[in-house]
């Protein structure tokens, strides 16, 4: 087990190293100089040179790469070119919005998807199933920014139940914070719920055809009992995998929703940093997301190995 873990750890380190080179290369290759972006069209050559020196942009790219990686190894993500605040602090601030939003959306999507998927599977081919499947088709097809705009129109502009956007912060209590994240969470959750419901339904249908389900019925369980006790449980494996994927998508992929609701989250930070050529912020945030995904995979690998002895002995 230890050898297996060490081997996985080595491949994790290699993946991270390769990722850091790719991220740095891709972002640095794109045209646009951070200093000229900040100083605008009237900047003089000597002013630009002074600012480049101040930002540490006057050294070679190779040296910059090693400064960046070396800094990250000791937990220093560098200082933003434009904001002039430590990148690690900026990321931490933004996570206080993005992480709860992703969790909120995921909870909502699970709460919608599970009953819908189970209901549809239990009524395969009947009108109830057709209705749920039709609804999920619609949920996947509707762009979430359009849906977000509709939510704002109805609940913020007409009914005035919510603000049209912005984040109230956690200082005034959890409820105030959650309240201001509700519309964006719904907008994010709906398409995810549609996908998840379909996965739940098809996973359940696969299980229902298995031999052990027939055995369960033969032992005298009713359809409903067999479905709940043996079906749903086994169907959870693919569903949980999808939920895991959706979580990382929600964390990194809510850029558009954060724009529509002007939330100060991670997505908006990346968006602003890209247009301002704040390279160090973009690089560090992307690297952090890669790190998160790779770490999750590493833990999953370890968990598989712990559960399945064959994986251990094979190494």
Partner 1 sequence: MTKQRFRLFASALALGASLFATQALAKSDIIIAMQLEPPHLDPTSAAAQAIDSVVYTNIFEGLTRFMGDGSVVPGLAESWEISEDGTVYTFKLRDGVIFHDGTTMDAEDVKFSLDRATAEDSTNAQKALFAGIESVEVVDPLTVQVTLKDPNGNFLFNLAWGDAVIVAPESIENIKTNPVGTGAFTFADWVQGDSITLNRNPDYWGDQPALETATFKFISDPTAAFAAMMAEDVDVFDNFPAPENLPQFEADPRFQVLVGSTEGETILSTNNKQKPFDDILVRQALAHAIDRQAIIDGAMFGYGTPIGTHFAPHNPAYIDLTGNSAYDPEKAKALLAEAGYPDGFATTLHLPPPSYARRGGEIIAAQLAEVGIKAEIINVEWAQWLESVFKGKEFGLTIVSHTEPMDIGIYARPDYYFQYESTDFQALMDTLNSTTDPDERTRLLGEAQRLIATDYVNGYLFQLAKLGVAKAGVQGLWENAPTAAIDLTAISWDE
Strand partners, 86: 79
58 binds partner 1 (CB under 8 A): no
Q: What is the DSSP letter of 86?
A: B
With a CB cutoff of 8 Å and minimum separation 6, the contacts of 304 are 311
Among 60-68, 157-165, 218-226, 283-291, the segment contacting partner 1 (CB under 8 A): 157-165
From 166, 176, 177, 165, select the one nearest 96 (Cα to Cα): 177
- How far is the CA of 265 from the CAs of 21, 89, 97, 173, 248, in angstroms? 26, 13, 5, 19, 14
Per CB under 8 A, the list member of 91, 156, 243, 296 interacting with partner 1 is 156
Nearer to partner 1, 31 or 75 (CB): 31
From 39, 70, 69, select the one nearest 52 (Cα to Cα): 39
From residue 160 to residue 179, what is the string marking binding to partner 1 with x (rule CB under 8 A)? x--xxxxx-x----------
Quote the tokens at residue 261: 């609701």
Binding residues for partner 1, rule CB under 8 A, total 53
Angle 129-131-132 from CA coordinates, rounded to 5°: 65
Angle 90-300-287 from CA coordinates, rounded to 5°: 25
Let me know: does 199 contact 239? Beta carbons within 8 Å: yes
Per CB under 8 A, the list member of 259, 291, 296, 301 interacting with partner 1 is 259
Among 15-23, 86-94, 136-144, 230-238, the segment contacting partner 1 (CB under 8 A): 86-94
> CB of residue 185 vs partner 1: minimum separation in angstroms?
16
127 binds partner 1 (CB under 8 A): no
31 binds partner 1 (CB under 8 A): yes
Question: Residues interacting with partner 1, by CB under 8 A?
Answer: 30-34, 36-44, 46-47, 50-51, 53-54, 82-85, 90, 93-94, 149, 152-153, 156-157, 160, 163-167, 169, 259-265, 268-269, 272, 274-277
């Amino acid at each position: 087990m230890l050898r297996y873990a060490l081997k996985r750890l080595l491949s994790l380190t290699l993946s991270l190293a390769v990722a850091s080179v790719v991220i740095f290369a891709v972002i640095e290759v794109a045209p646009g100089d951070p200093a000229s972006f900040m100083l605008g069209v009237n900047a003089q050559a000597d002013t630009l040179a002074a600012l480049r020196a101040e930002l540490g942009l006057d050294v070679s790219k190779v040296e910059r790469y090693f400064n960046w990686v070396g800094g990250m190894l000791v937990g220093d993500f560098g200082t933003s070119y434009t904001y002039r605040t430590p990148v690690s602090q900026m990321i931490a601030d933004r996570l206080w919005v993005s992480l709860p939003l992703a969790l909120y959306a995921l909870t909502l999507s699970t709460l919608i998807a599970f009953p819908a998927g189970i209901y549809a599977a239990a009524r395969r081919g009947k009108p109830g199933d057709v209705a749920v499947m039709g609804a999920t088709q619609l949920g996947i097809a509707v762009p979430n920014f359009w849906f977000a705009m509709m939510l704002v129109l109805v609940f913020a502009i007409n009914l005035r139940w919510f603000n049209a956007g912005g984040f109230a912060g956690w200082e005034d209590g959890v409820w105030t914070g959650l309240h201001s994240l509700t519309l964006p969470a719904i907008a994010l959750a709906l398409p995810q719920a549609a996908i998840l419901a379909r996965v739940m339904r098809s996973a359940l249908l696969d299980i229902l055809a298995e031999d052990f389900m027939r055995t369960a019925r033969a032992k005298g369980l009713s359809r409903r009992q067999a479905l709940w006790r043996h079906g749903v449980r086994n169907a959870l494996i693919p569903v949980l995998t999808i939920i895991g994927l959706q979580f990382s998508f929600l964390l990194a992929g809510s850029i558009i929703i954060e724009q529509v609701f002007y939330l100060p989250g991670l997505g908006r930070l990346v968006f602003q940093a890209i247009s301002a050529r704040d390279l160090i912020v973009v690089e560090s945030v992307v690297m952090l997301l890669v790190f998160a995904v790779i770490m999750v995979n590493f833990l999953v690998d370890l968990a598989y190995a712990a559960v399945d002895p064959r994986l251990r002995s094979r190494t």
